[in-house]
């Protein structure tokens, strides 16, 4: 009787997907199974319930997933428990709580790797790929997607492969590799059409339309986006309908059809607001602000920018991004430790085998002992080499995290605060024409106010460019250093820059580290040395890169100390050591200071 009841329920559930009027009956049926069935059937019902609720009510989905996780613990079902941890993370993701999502994703990843449930493991990897795609860590997103695709390929799961092709295609859109993105979307569409999967076909059409928009192929873009929207309306899928309206809004905006764009964004926002889909609301407000500004309605643009900033502050914070990075570092470290333990176990097994053979014959004792010692030394060297590699990876992760945070803050200053200040200036300028000043003094005060806002805009741009200079990203180290010193007032200190052999770009890590080191040296000279002249040299040859920073300031006493003290100088030393380079400080009171840096070839 139990099996018949469950079979009937599953049949009704699958039918309800294409019959939206029956969805409430499905929810009631699921709740009935949860209340009256065995624990094993309840687990299945909770998975179906959280899946149905995900794009309807994020909070209800979260509650269902938490209840399912509690039942899985009671049953000692680690595979289901891992699946529910991932479902909890997915609910937090769509609520815009990315640091909480990352915590549960990585928790699920560890559980499912141990349990060996490959289909659920692939789902977690796909969700992690989405998270890193959202935070613009594209290389890590592709790493997750590739691992998920390999699992689905081994399982011969066409549905899973089609999903990953769509999701990974977005990464190539972000990389502006549109041909590769469209190729993946069309491969996914072919699989969905073969499966006669209406939902999947709608998603693939929407992805193709989005990529065509980025290529300015608006006829193809509109055709695919409208076809996708019609399918989603037939399915009455509110979540995907909201996405379609947003993508159509972006397409019309790029086509300069601003009134149609506004109409589509408002339709998308109406659904997103009802669902509390904060990330979609953030994207819509950003585009609506840009459209209002383009139409000259600066007051409305400022209102949208404020809404966008409020949502952005609640979703993206430095602390949240840092926590996600820490969770990934912890996961990678645990994964490497597990591999090392397996290697050590294998080494021990081989050593025991050698010891047994040595006991079999007196003639083999000496040979076995010698071989054992040799292998032991080799293994020790391998382990030492692995430890050094892990230390390098950890140092690189810290520096990359720091540079990513600089980029994020610089972008926020430039795109957020900077644009709001610019909008404020435009509004004040427009307001000036509508004011009748009592006298010249009042007008002068108003002019000073506009000048102060203009100076603030310049200061924000200056700070954002100093945190992540465009010259470093576009032209390389020499141009970035020259741009940096050109901003320094030569009445304070005269700076001479000499470069050789830097016509070709260096490795991005090398350029970033050397730029930060030179920036730190120059700031130290300005703050502490009292120097009037500063010489900087950057030379690249076959041996590597040599950099010197020499000033004629007051200097300092290095006698009796192995290395200079101070946070700034320690930062210089640690960054250079990260590139396997050397740094020497030559200074004495009244004789100025020379900082000599050498980075060997290959870094």
What average pLDDT does this structure show over 227-233? 92
192 domain residue, yes or no: no
Final residue of a domain: which of 109, 136, 163? 136
Three-state secondary structure along 415-452? HHHHHHHHHHHHHHHHHHCCCCCCCHHHHHHHHHHHHH
DSSP state of 503: S
DSSP, res 298: H
CA gap 572, 213 in Å, rounded: 46
Beta carbons of 94 and 54 less than 8 angstroms apart: yes
Evaluate whether residue 496 is within a structural domain: yes
In this structure, what CATH number is given to the domain that contains residue 104? 1.25.40.10
Structure-derived torsion over alpha carbons of residues 33, 39, 45, 50, reported in degrees to the nearest 10: 130
Residues 102, 103, 107: CA angle, nearest 5 degrees: 110
Specify the DSSP element, H or E, that contains 304: helix 298-315
C-alpha span between 229 and 247 (Å, rounded): 10
Residue that has been written with the tokens 């969700």 in this structure: 127
pLDDT band at 318 (very low <50, low <70, confident <90, very high): very low
> Torsion over CA of 195, 198, 203 and 207, rounded to 10 degrees?
80
pLDDT tier, 67 (very low <50, low <70, confident <90, very high otherwise): very high
Does the pLDDT value for residue 413 go beyond 80? no
* Cα 90 to Cα 329: distance, rounded to the nearest angstrom: 21
Residues 585, 481 share a domain = yes
Q: Is the pLDDT of residue 17 over 80?
A: no
Condensed to tens digits (0 to 9), the pLDDT of residues 477-517 reads 888 888 888 888 788 889 999 999 888 888 877 888 888 88
d(CA 93, CA 87): 10
pLDDT at 2: 37
Q: Residue 268 domain-assigned? A: no
Residue 220, pLDDT > 80, answer yes
Contact residues for 317 (Cβ-Cβ < 8 A; gap 6+): none
pLDDT at 418 over 60: no
Asked if 484 and 412 sit in the same domain, the reply is no
pLDDT exceeds 80 at position 204 = yes
In angstroms, the CA 347 to CA 374 distance is: 12
| 260: pLDDT strictly greater than 90 | yes
The reply to whether 490 falls in a domain is yes
Yes or no: say if 211 and 222 are a contact pair by the CB < 8 Å rule: no
Q: How confident is the model at residue 5 (pLDDT cuts 50, 70, 90)?
A: very low
Strands (E), 95-178: none
**Is 80 exceeded by the pLDDT of residue 268?**
yes
The residue with tokens 């333990």 is 341
Instruction: Provide the token pair at 533.
Output: 């002249």
The CB-side HSE value for 475 (13 A sphere, CA atoms) comes to 9
Q: Which residue has the higher pLDDT, 78 or 354?
A: 78
List all residues 6 or more positions away from 60 whose beta carbon is below 8 Å from its beta carbon.
Answer: 53
pLDDT at 515: 85
In this prediction, residue 98 carries a pLDDT of 82
The Cβ-side half-sphere exposure at 349, using a 13 Å CA radius, reads 6
Last residue of a domain, one of 136, 155, 171: 136
Angle separating helix axes 178-195 and 158-174, nearest 10 degrees:
160
Residue 468 pLDDT greater than 60, yes or no: no
The winner for highest mean pLDDT among 160-164, 313-317, 452-456 is 160-164
The domain boundary, picked from 78, 106, 136, lies at 136
Check: CB of residue 585 under 8 Å from CB of residue 592: no
540 found inside a domain: yes
**pTM across the whole model:** 0.46
| 267 alpha-carbon distance from chain centroid | 29
Helices (H), 156-296: 158-174, 178-195, 198-214, 218-235, 238-254, 258-275, 278-294
Strongest mean pLDDT among 2-16, 25-39, 525-539: 525-539
> How high does pLDDT run on average in the chain?
79
Whether residue 165 lies inside any domain: the answer is no
Position 181 pLDDT exceeds 60: yes
Rounded Cα distance between 181 and 204, Å, is 11
Helix (H, G, I), strand (E, B) or coil at 308: helix
Q: Do 351 and 408 sit in the same domain of this protein?
A: yes
Of residues 274 and 143, more confidently modeled: 143
Domain match, 584 and 521 both: yes
Q: List, in sequence order, every residue forming a beta bridge with 548; answer none if it has no partner.
A: 537, 596
Residue 142 lies in a domain: no
Q: Count of domains in the chain?
A: 3
Quick: pLDDT tens for 100-141.
888 999 999 999 999 999 999 999 999 999 889 888 899 999
Report the alpha-carbon distance of residue 20 to residue 23 in Å, rounded: 5
Span between the terminal Cα atoms of the chain, in Å: 70
From the centroid of its chain, how far is CA 379? 37
Q: Which domain holds residue 527?
A: 471-600
Rounded to the nearest angstrom, the gap between the alpha carbon of residue 570 and the centroid of all alpha carbons in its chain is: 29
- The whole-number pLDDT of residue 201 equals 92
- Quick one: how many helices (H) and strands (E) in the chain? 24, 5
pLDDT of residue 559: 65
């Amino acid at each position: 009787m139990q099996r018949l009841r469950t079979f009937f329920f599953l049949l009704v559930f699958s039918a309800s997907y294409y019959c939206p009027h029956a969805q409430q009956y499905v929810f009631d049926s699921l709740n009935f199974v949860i209340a009256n069935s065995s624990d094993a059937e309840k687990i299945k019902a909770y998975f179906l319930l959280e899946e149905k609720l995900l794009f309807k009510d994020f909070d209800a989905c979260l509650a269902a997933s938490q209840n399912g996780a509690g039942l899985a613990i009671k049953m000692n079902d680690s595979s289901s428990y891992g699946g529910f941890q991932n479902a909890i993370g997915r609910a937090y993701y769509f609520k815009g709580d990315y640091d909480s999502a990352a915590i549960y994703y990585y928790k699920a990843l560890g559980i499912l790797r141990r349990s060996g449930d490959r289909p659920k493991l692939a789902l977690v990897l796909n969700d992690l790929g989405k998270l890193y795609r959202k935070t613009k860590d594209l290389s890590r997103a592709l790493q997750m997607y590739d691992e998920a695709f390999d699992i689905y390929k081994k399982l011969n799961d066409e549905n899973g492969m089609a999903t990953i092709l769509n999701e990974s295609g977005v990464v190539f859109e972000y990389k502006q590799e549109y041909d590769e993105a469209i190729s993946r979307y069309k491969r996914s569409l072919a699989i969905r059409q073969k499966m006669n999967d209406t939902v999947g076909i709608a998603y693939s059409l929407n992805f193709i339309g989005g990529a065509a928009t980025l290529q300015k192929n608006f006829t193809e873009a509109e055709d695919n986006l409208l076809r996708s929207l019609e399918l989603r309306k037939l399915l009455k899928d509110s979540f995907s309908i909201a996405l379609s309206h947003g993508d159509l809004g972006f397409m019309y905006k790029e086509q300069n059809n601003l009134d149609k764009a506004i109409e589509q964004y408002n339709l998308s926002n109406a659904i997103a607001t009802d669902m509390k889909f904060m990330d979609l609301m953030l994207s819509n407000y950003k585009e609506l602000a840009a459209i209002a500004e383009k139409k000259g309605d600066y007051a409305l643009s400022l209102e949208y920018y404020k809404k966008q900033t409020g949502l952005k502050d609640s979703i993206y914070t430095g602390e949240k991004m840092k926590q996600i990075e820490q969770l990934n570092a912890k996961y990678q470290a645990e994964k490497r430790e597990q591999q090392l333990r397996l290697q050590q176990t294998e080494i021990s097994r081989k050593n025991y085998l050698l010891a047994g053979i040595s006991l079999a014959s007196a003639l083999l004792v000496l040979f076995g002992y010698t071989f054992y010692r040799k292998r032991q030394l080799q293994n020790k060297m391998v382990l030492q080499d692995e430890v050094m590699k892990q230390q390098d990876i950890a140092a690189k992760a810290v520096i990359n995290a720091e540079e990513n945070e600089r980029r994020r803050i610089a972008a926020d200053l430039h795109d957020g605060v900077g644009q709001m200040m610019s909008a404020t200036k435009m509004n004040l300028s427009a307001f000036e024409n509508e004011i009748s000043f009592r006298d010249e003094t009042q007008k002068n005060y108003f002019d000073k106010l506009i000048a102060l806002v203009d100076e603030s805009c310049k200061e924000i741009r200056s700070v954002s460019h100093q945190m992540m200079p465009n010259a470093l990203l576009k032209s390389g180290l020499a141009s970035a250093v020259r741009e940096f010193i050109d901003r320094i007032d030569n009445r304070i200190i005269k700076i001479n820059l000499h470069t050789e052999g830097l016509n070709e770009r260096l490795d991005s890590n090398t350029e970033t580290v050397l730029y930060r080191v030179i920036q730190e040296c120059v700031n130290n000279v300005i703050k502490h040395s009292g120097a009037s002249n500063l010489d900087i040299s950057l030379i690249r040859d076959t041996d590597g890169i040599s950099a010197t920073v020499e000033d004629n300031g007051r200097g300092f006493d290095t006698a009796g100390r192995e290395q200079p003290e101070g946070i700034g100088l320690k930062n210089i030393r640690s960054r250079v050591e990260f590139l396997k380079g050397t740094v020497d400080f030559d200074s004495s009171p009244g004789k100025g200071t020379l900082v000599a840096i050498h980075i060997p070839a290959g870094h």
